[in-house]
Amino acid sequence: MDVTKIKNIDKITYRGEFDENTSPRKNLPEKASKMLPSIREAIIKSGLKDGMTISFHHHFRNGDYIVNMVLDEIAKLGIKDLTVAASSLTSCHAPMIEHIKNGVVTHIETSGMRGDLAEAVSRGLMDTPVVFRSHGGRADAIASGDIHIDVAFLGAPTCDIMGNANGYNRYEENATMCGSLGYAKVDAEYADCVVIITDHIVPYPNTPCGIPAVDVRYIVEVENIGDPNGIMSGATRYTKNPKELMIAKQTAEVIEHSGYFKDGFSMQMGSGGASLATARFLREKMEEQGIHCDFALGGITGQIAEMHEAGLIDKILDVQSFDLRAAESLKNNRFHAQIDGCFYAGYDFVGAAVNALDFVILSALEIDTDFNVNVLTGSDGVIRGAIGGHPDTADGAKMSVVVGPLTRGRIPTIVDHVQTVITPGVDVDVVVTDQGVAVNPRRPDLAEKLQEAGILLYSIEELKERAEKIVGKPDPIKYKDKVVGLALYRDNSIIDVIHEIDESDMSR
């Protein structure tokens, strides 16, 4: 008998009768229990030390309590010099400013930042520049080990005692939900230690689940994981803003005549007012022309969920649910699938879903005459946004449509140079504003199709001049030399840097 082909033959050799005391099966649930009484206990048990990296997800949006609760406990334990690798941060994370000042947090990796924390970072709060990555870029960096997460603290609306965690609740009506846990799934898979923080322990098995028990080391039950109103609103509201409706109507027409609007198409849409309204106009066209959609990807709204339930969209791939309606659909509909960040947009993953998109509709803070798009910094140079999946989808989709008003108050959207390049112009095909459409000269094929359909096209320079005629030419923003942020493209190479703003001349 030759057993040399069986590589692990030494390990599997019979070792005599099982010792009852060491068989994990016999001792459940006490011995294998992952339940810990407090976040403090979980931090200690996780082995968190100075200089390590901790991670969080942003599926609770502006209602998140997890980041602040965990950092407060870490600070009390005297642990310092941590890297926070969050999928994104919002204005509710302003208390992190104190933890940066007292040395608990010394580096941040995130998709975006808003509010007081972003203002402080833009004014030079941190010694190390914040690294901003796209959702796909972050997933890749975690999978490849470029971001090595020592401990992931992941909030979940429900979890069973084994650690199967979900963004919804099958046991209680009207319980807090966040829908998909897509970005957190990557952390759960690759982090050395995963701590689930929940406010609803539910019966085993909490399946189908967002995060499987095999990835989870500890579970902590707390009073509240977040503010339900901040986590999610009932349904994203349909805009009544006439500018947004004009943009949406025009966008739907552009899509209709782009050559990509045919039976079996695929799409992604953002949650902005114009983008949502586009879904409604597109739905009308689908129903009129008997066209159905193979799959909708991305951040999912109630509008998309309703189209799925009406049979207009076959499948939904959901990395992040934008409203309760979408979260309910994820819970109830078999073909509304929960996908992780690598599946969604990983650059190193050939099969990333963004690469199968026909078109994507994206918003922008600024677009320049080279079609570069900024979604991270405001026109005053202050960080106030997030990269999100912008470059991932714009690059992956066959056609990217960037929508926005020509001007916002006195701020022009179309400018000579964006403050920060997030998505390069090569990835942007069409720009739709309330005052005209421009097609990237790299896409003469698209321009021809749209012109044939009678859509009036302008050059991007013409749109820029039009905006300037209304609001005037803005003075350039003044920056200091210090770099406060690095913006990474979807392949995790630096595409732009963000400087500290210079306000020395603002006190006139």
Partner 1 sequence: MKIVKPASAGTLESSDIEIRIEPADEAGIEIHLTSSVMQQFGKKIEAVIKGTLEELGVESAYVDAVDKGALDCTVRARTAAAAHRAAEDSNYTWRVKA
Where does this chain bind partner 1 (CB under 8 A)?
379-381, 409-411, 470-472, 474-475, 477-478, 503, 506, 508
Cα dihedral 153, 158, 164, 167 sign: negative
Minimum CB separation of residue 219 from partner 1 in Å reads 46
Per-residue exposure over 242-267, b if at least 16 CB sit within 10 Å of its own CB, e if not: ebbbbbbbbbbbbbbbbebbeeebbb
Minimum CB separation of residue 407 from partner 1 in Å reads 9
- Whichever of 12 and 506 has its CB closer to partner 1, that residue is 506
Minimum CB separation of residue 503 from partner 1 in Å reads 8
Q: φ, ψ for residue 184 (rounded to 5)?
A: -70, -25
Q: Are 195 and 218 in contact (CB under 8 A)?
A: yes
- Whichever of 31 and 478 has its CB closer to partner 1, that residue is 478
- Whichever of 319 and 415 has its CB closer to partner 1, that residue is 415
The helix/strand/coil state of 480 is strand
Minimum CB separation of residue 270 from partner 1 in Å reads 23
Q: Are 106 and 82 in contact (CB under 8 A)?
A: yes
Minimum CB separation of residue 168 from partner 1 in Å reads 37
Furthest-apart CA atoms within the chain: distance in Å: 91
Minimum CB separation of residue 194 from partner 1 in Å reads 43
d(CA 62, CA 227) in angstroms, rounded, equals 8
Minimum CB separation of residue 383 from partner 1 in Å reads 15
Is residue 468 packed enough to be buried (19+ CB in 10 Å), middle (13-18) or exposed (0-12)? middle
- Whichever of 205 and 472 has its CB closer to partner 1, that residue is 472
- Whichever of 94 and 477 has its CB closer to partner 1, that residue is 477
- Whichever of 309 and 503 has its CB closer to partner 1, that residue is 503
Minimum CB separation of residue 384 from partner 1 in Å reads 13
- Whichever of 204 and 479 has its CB closer to partner 1, that residue is 479
Question: CA angle, 445 as apex, 440 and 449 as ends, to 5°?
Answer: 100
Minimum CB separation of residue 505 from partner 1 in Å reads 8
The helix/strand/coil state of 31 is coil
Minimum CB separation of residue 476 from partner 1 in Å reads 8
- Whichever of 17 and 505 has its CB closer to partner 1, that residue is 505
Is residue 280 packed enough to be buried (19+ CB in 10 Å), middle (13-18) or exposed (0-12)? middle
Minimum CB separation of residue 409 from partner 1 in Å reads 3
Minimum CB separation of residue 377 from partner 1 in Å reads 12
Written as six digits, the tokens of 185 are 């799934």
Written as six digits, the tokens of 240 are 């009544």
The rounded Cα 216 to chain-centroid distance in angstroms is 22
- Whichever of 5 and 508 has its CB closer to partner 1, that residue is 508
Q: Where are the beta strands (DSSP E) in 392-429?
A: 399-403, 407-408, 411-412, 414-415
- Whichever of 314 and 503 has its CB closer to partner 1, that residue is 503
- Whichever of 362 and 415 has its CB closer to partner 1, that residue is 415
Cα dihedral 329, 330, 333, 336 sign: positive
Q: Where are the beta strands (DSSP E) in 100-257?
A: 105-110, 112-113, 130-132, 151-156, 158-159, 165-166, 193-198, 218-221
Minimum CB separation of residue 472 from partner 1 in Å reads 6
Closest CA to 204 of 34, 39, 27, 340: 34
- Whichever of 180 and 369 has its CB closer to partner 1, that residue is 369
d(CA 344, CA 135) in angstroms, rounded, equals 9
- Whichever of 140 and 500 has its CB closer to partner 1, that residue is 500
Closest CA to 384 of 404, 366, 400: 366
Closest CA to 165 of 157, 173, 177, 174: 157
The helix/strand/coil state of 399 is strand
